[in-house]
Amino acid sequence: MSEQDVVPVRRRTVLKAAGAAGSVVAAGPTVETLAGPLAEAPPGSVRAGGTVEIALAVNGVSRRVVVEPRVTLLDALRDRMGLTGTKKGCDRGECGACTVLVDGERIKSCLTLAVMCQGSAITTIEGLARGDELHPVQEAFIRHDAFQCGGCTPGQIMSALACIQEGHTRSDDEVREWMSGNLCRCAAYQNMVAAVRDASREMRG
Amino acid sequence: MRAFGYSPATDPGTAVRLASQPDTTYIAGGTDLLNLMRDGSENHHHLVDINRLELADVTADDDGVHIGGLARMRQVAEDPRVLQRFAVVSQSLLASASPQVRNMASIGGNLLQRTRCGYFRDAGSACNKRVPGSGCPAIEGENRIHAILGTSDHCIATHPSDLAVALTALDATVHVLGPSGARRIPIADFYLPPGDTPQVENALRYGELITGVDLPSRLQDPLSRYLKLRDRATFEFAVVSVAAVLRVRGGRVQDVRLAFGGVGTKPWRSAEVEATLRGHRLTLERVSEAGRVLVRDAVPREGNEFKVELVQRALAGVLSELGGIR
């Protein structure tokens, strides 16, 4: 285990350790389907129940994790890498709490498999601040009191960052439309719209 | 989710060979498939990842625009050639899902979204699509969002894709590659009405992969528009939608192509409706007549009777916006 894979002991570490104990790297490129062993399976193939090691760049740091194919990017981030800033809300693509950037584009990490992200660059909420200096979108959310319980906030901020970079912040209505993939159960939408527009002005000069 | 195996394919031939194995399917964006697998609505023993196949380009020539099966919804919606020549396609895509999902979901996968309703997604309910022969609780149950056209005694669910409605109005062609080679399927033949086999939703054969979609340039300088009516402002399936492609010359309809979403078990096209309008001025009477022709064979249920009126109003609204109604 390399140094970057060492997770500080927190209350979730017990669960992670239990999950890692059963992991075995897939032996070879042969895939067994119900029809029997399948020759010429491409490198990176893994059979049902097996695991595979994948490499990702998460917030600029190279990470290797061992996952079953059914592990979503969201679960790999939270349970395998200890990056619990990305939240699991609905776990079916409807709430947006799990929004991260993959190769610069916002996606829902509960709807993509970690194995599909092999070689990708992932940015999570943990990757925005520079030391103690918060990202302008984070600052704007605090300035505008743009959250209540905070459950959706990491996803809202990641989505807002992409929304600003995509240029969809010219009006309140446009922000509402282009932030529609992120729900807030506290309905702090009014202040979030203000925060996104404010951050946009700051970032775009 | 149950455990499954995984192979990342690097060329279409290998992908098809892998996906021709039993209990195997393709995964592109995964935005629909993973939820279906979570729900137990679909179970696959092995997934073939096609995201690395070089099928994501959009190309254009005089005959039209070709969209690769792995182009993403956002990419196509923003493509300047699509915007200029097929605005209805861009509008239908931007009216779909959420920005995050549009970054992920492929065009091929969008077309293959399962025709669904709440009963299909609920493993505790009977559903003829999920378990053929188990019954359709929607017919006597909660059916506000269900279809009024093309239904059968076995299924009344609607096809959810907005893009498919636009492609139906444009007479698009779907390109597929399968174990027995490549073939082209006109969009009109791609989706199948439920009949007594509602679990079979389209003409794809086992192992076939959507490699692309052709949008033919049939009309010169057409006006086009996608109107989507839904229960909330955004991020929601259509209650009723209309894709319209129209060319008016000398005050008369020279050509018109119309497709409807949210009302049919498949994206709905009616030659009779178009014939009612072609060659005529878009008067209120003429447009009302076209609306009556559209719903002539509608079979509404207790919860969705409002769609009979709503779809006629949507048609009138779109034609009014595009051509003016006098």
What are the tens digits of pLDDT across the range A168-182?
999 999 999 999 999
**Residues B99-136: b if buried by 16+ CB within 10 A, e if exposed:** bbbbbbbbbbbbbbbbbbbbbbbeeebebbbbeeeeeb
Interchain CB contact of A167 with B (< 8 Å): no
pLDDT at B273 over 50: yes
pLDDT at B213 over 90: yes
**Per-residue pLDDT at B325:** 73
Q: Which of B123-137, B156-170, B208-222, B234-248 has the lowest mean pLDDT?
A: B208-222
SS3 of A23, please?
coil
Q: Are B98 and A96 in contact (CB < 8 Å)? A: yes
**What mean pLDDT is reported for chain B?**
96
pLDDT at A1 over 50: no
**Per-residue pLDDT at A39:** 56
Give the pLDDT band (50/70/90) at residue B263: very high
Chain B interface, best mutation among A116, A177, A183, A184, by max B CB count within 10 A = A116
Interface of chain B against chain A, CB under 8 Å? 1-10, 14, 17-18, 21-24, 27, 29-31, 34-35, 38, 45-47, 49, 51, 97-101, 103-104, 233-235
- Between the alpha carbon of residue A8 and those of residues A96, A123, B227, B265, the distances in Å are 27, 21, 53, 53
For B268-271, the CB contacts below 8 A with 24+ separation are B268/B149, B268/B150, B268/B165, B268/B168, B269/B168, B269/B169, B269/B188, B270/B294
Q: Are strands B5-8 and B268-269 parallel, antiparallel or unpaired?
A: unpaired
What domains can you pick out in chain A, each with its CATH number?
A: 3-86+109-126 (3.10.20.30), 136-204 (1.10.150.120)
pLDDT at A3 over 70: no
pLDDT at B123 over 80: yes
**Per-residue pLDDT at B324:** 78
Closest CA of chain A from B95, distance in Å: 10
Chain A interface, best mutation among B7, B39, B116, by max A CB count within 10 A = B7
Percent of chain B with pLDDT over 90: 96
Q: What is the CA radius of gyration of chain B?
A: 20
User: Which uninterrupted H or E stretch holds A33?
Assistant: strand A31-33
Chain B interface, best mutation among A51, A172, A174, A180, by max B CB count within 10 A = A180
Rounded CA separation B267/B270 (Å): 10
**Per-residue pLDDT at B218:** 80
Query: Which tens digits make up the pLDDT trace of B230-258?
Result: 999 999 999 999 999 999 999 999 999 99
- Between the alpha carbon of residue A38 and those of residues A35, B18, B23, B204, the distances in Å are 8, 8, 13, 24
Rounded CA separation B6/B114 (Å): 22
Closest CA of chain A from B35, distance in Å: 6
* Residue range B5-51 in CATH 3.30.43: yes
What is the pLDDT averaged over residues B274-296? 97
Q: What is the ipTM of this complex?
A: 0.95
pLDDT at A7 over 80: no
Interface of A with B in 32-51 (CB under 8 A): 32-35, 38, 40-50
What is the pLDDT averaged over residues A128-150? 97
Give the pLDDT band (50/70/90) at residue A188: very high
What is the pLDDT averaged over residues A46-56? 96
Rounded CA separation B132/B113 (Å): 19
Domains B5-51 and B223-323 share a fold: no
Q: Are strands B173-178 and B64-68 parallel, antiparallel or unpaired?
A: unpaired
What tokens does A92 get?
A: 């079916």
Q: Which residues of A touch B97 (CB under 8 A)?
A: 181
**Per-residue pLDDT at B220:** 73
SS3 of B251, please?
coil
Contacts (Cβ under 8 Å, ≥6 apart) of A129: A135, A138
SS3 of A119, please?
coil
Closest CA of chain B from A182, distance in Å: 9
Domain boundaries, chain B: 5-51, 223-323
pLDDT at A71 over 90: yes
**Residue B246 phi, psi (nearest 5):** -140, 140
User: Which uninterrupted H or E stretch holds A153?
Assistant: helix A153-166
Question: DSSP assignment, residue A93?
Answer: S
Q: Are A34 and B3 in contact (CB < 8 Å)? A: no
pTM of the model: 0.93
**Per-residue pLDDT at A38:** 55
Interchain CB contact of A72 with B (< 8 Å): yes
Domain at B223-323, CATH from 1.10.540.10, 3.40.190.10, 3.20.20.100, 3.30.390.50: 3.30.390.50
Query: Which tens digits make up the pLDDT trace of B186-204?
Result: 999 999 999 999 999 999 9
